[in-house]
Amino acid sequence: MLRQTFIHIPGIGKETERSLWSQGCVDWSTFLENRGAFNLNGAEADLVHRYVSESQEALERQEHQYFRLRLSASEAWRAWPDFRSSCVYLDIETDGGQQGNAITMIGLYDGIEFKGLVKGVDLENFRDEISRSSMIVSFFGLGFDVPMLIKRFKDVPMDHIHMDLASILKKIGFRGGLKKIEKQLGWSRGAGIDGLTGLDAIRLWNEYCRGNAKSLEILLEYNRADVVNLERLAEIAYDQLSALTRGEEPPPIPGLLEPILPNLEMHSAPVQAHRRRAHFPR
């Protein structure tokens, strides 16, 4: 979807982007190979051409900072497939405090391996771990996790593309917190951690601090479930939003137990207008 994206360019909004698609301009290569062939609805042609060229070059270099600066948080999902190989699914736990030293655990999952960094053990390794990633997927991470991490690790540049599923999943009709959404999908976390909440995470940490090693094991499993499930949710969000944005019928969501109603904006007439004519590369 990133290569079909034009809304990060000054002067181009969703309506003009849809207009470009309806004219047959379905990706950056098509635009560059047919300079001057498309109606830009008043956007400056030379500026658009420069931005499209820059975008293509930045993607080839995997320069995530370029897209971090230009894609709004609500559209960051478009970059996920192109940066998935360097994406980290992130979630923190705290002791209930609001300062950086309240972070007790940082869960990181790269799609293959889970790492739970623990305060007093290996939390400082976060600097090296996050430097290997170009994109973060979280649930309310822009509102909580990242601000807390910035307080705790003031020397770490948090310049990643950020796909915050808390707001993005609302666009396709999900409501509530992470655990509620998992239940809507029929997911179970398994014995020992199913039903645990953030308050339980604080309790488990306090028990660990009092010498209960088993509590830390449970907390790690709880955190692991959070970040591993984020990848599955990112897949659902991307598949739904890419289809809706293109004006296509979204695929069925596996396991969905109750109906969801996507944002009506996603079904607006301009989207439908290009649906019959644009043929997007896959």
pLDDT tens, 52-105?
A: 999 999 999 999 999 999 999 999 999 999 999 999 999 999 999 999 999 999
* pLDDT at residue number 260: 86
Q: What is the pLDDT of residues 198-257, one digit of tens each?
A: 999 999 999 999 999 999 999 999 999 999 999 999 999 999 999 999 999 999 999 999
Name the residue ranges covered by the structural domains of the chain.
2-81+264-275, 84-234
Report the share of the chain in percent with pLDDT over 70: 93
Instruction: Please tell me the distance from the alpha carbon of residue 77 to that of residue 163, in angstroms, as a whole number.
Output: 6
In the block, tokens 């948080």 appear at 73
Q: Please, where are the H alpha helices in 61-164?
A: 64-70, 80-83, 126-130, 146-152
Which token pair is 7?
């809304």
Give the model's confidence band at 258: pLDDT under 50 very low, under 70 low, under 90 confident, else very high.
confident
Give the model's confidence band at 279: pLDDT under 50 very low, under 70 low, under 90 confident, else very high.
low
For the chain, the first-to-last Cα distance in angstroms comes to 9
In the block, tokens 């014995």 appear at 191
At residue 136, what are phi and psi to the nearest 5 degrees? Answer: -115, 135
Which token pair is 44?
């400056």
Q: What is the pLDDT of residues 126-183, one digit of tens each?
A: 999 999 999 999 999 999 999 999 999 999 999 999 999 999 999 999 999 999 999 9
Which token pair is 259?
């109906």
Q: Which of 196, 174, 177 is nearest to 257 (CA)?
A: 174
Q: Which CATH class is domain 84-234?
A: alpha beta
